[in-house]
Amino acid sequence: MIKSWLLILVLPLLGLCAPAADVAPAPAATLNPKWKFQKLLPSTPDKVLFQNSCDYAVYVQAVSGDPTKTPPPPQEIGGASKWTGDLSPECVGQEKPCGTSLKISRAIDMQVVVQFEFTVNVTTGDAWYDISLINCIKDMNVPNKDATACPGWEAGILATAAEGSSVTCNRMECAPRFQCEENAYFFELDKVAGAHHPVAPCPANRGIAIEICAA
């Protein structure tokens, strides 16, 4: 679900799977006491990091917002491992939107997915990012959502940017087994007039980091 009102950001369709490095705890003074997860998740300039901190493997697929582009086959990322990719190489020199949704699934058929959606304003260089659980919630027609099929939700989900740099950007955090409507899409808000959309901006060149089983 890449929303028409957002400008779009492209990730490369290939990522690198490597053993995850331990995320070192930051000095207490650098942590925001309002954060649900009291640790830093540093990002790398012009990169996207996906950290699978679960004890099981998942599949990752970067799907372009351009419907004419064929998505790559899903890539398996083991537990306690990561995927990295360059940010927006296809956006260079473009005036029109370009973008991706990073889909995470426990099955290679990619039918039940958590989506990390990224957009970029190619003029200002600002990136926008969000978490969507709409495609893994069991029943969208009930107010209390069951997201147990969503990879990582049982132990928390996190999307952030620029951590470890001098720039401060918003975190999108979903505490374990919590219906975190302020920080993730649990409802199809495009159909709700005047709805608050849970998205956050940051300079794209600061990098973006996302994590499942973040607690």
**Would you list the domain boundaries of the chain?**
16-20+38-212
The amino acid at 208 = I
In this predicted structure, the answer to whether residue 136 has a pLDDT above a threshold of 70 is yes
Both tokens of 108, joined, read 């290679």
How much is the pTM? 0.82
- For residue 143, give every residue at least 6 positions away whose Cβ sits within 8 Å of its Cβ, in sequence order, or none: none
Do residues 25 and 39 touch, judged by C-beta distance below 8 A? yes
Q: Three-state DSSP class for 140?
A: coil
Query: Whole-number mean pLDDT of the chain?
Result: 83
Q: Which of 94, 27, 21, 12 is nearest to 52 (CA)?
A: 21
Percent of the chain whose pLDDT exceeds 90: 54
In this predicted structure, the answer to whether residue 96 has a pLDDT above a threshold of 50 is yes
Do residues 41 and 160 touch, judged by C-beta distance below 8 A? yes
**Cα 168 to Cα 33, 162, 191, distances in angstroms:** 14, 7, 31
Q: Which CATH number fits domain 16-20+38-212: 2.60.110.10, 2.40.110.10, 3.50.50.60, 3.90.190.20?
A: 2.60.110.10
Higher pLDDT, 111 or 63: 111
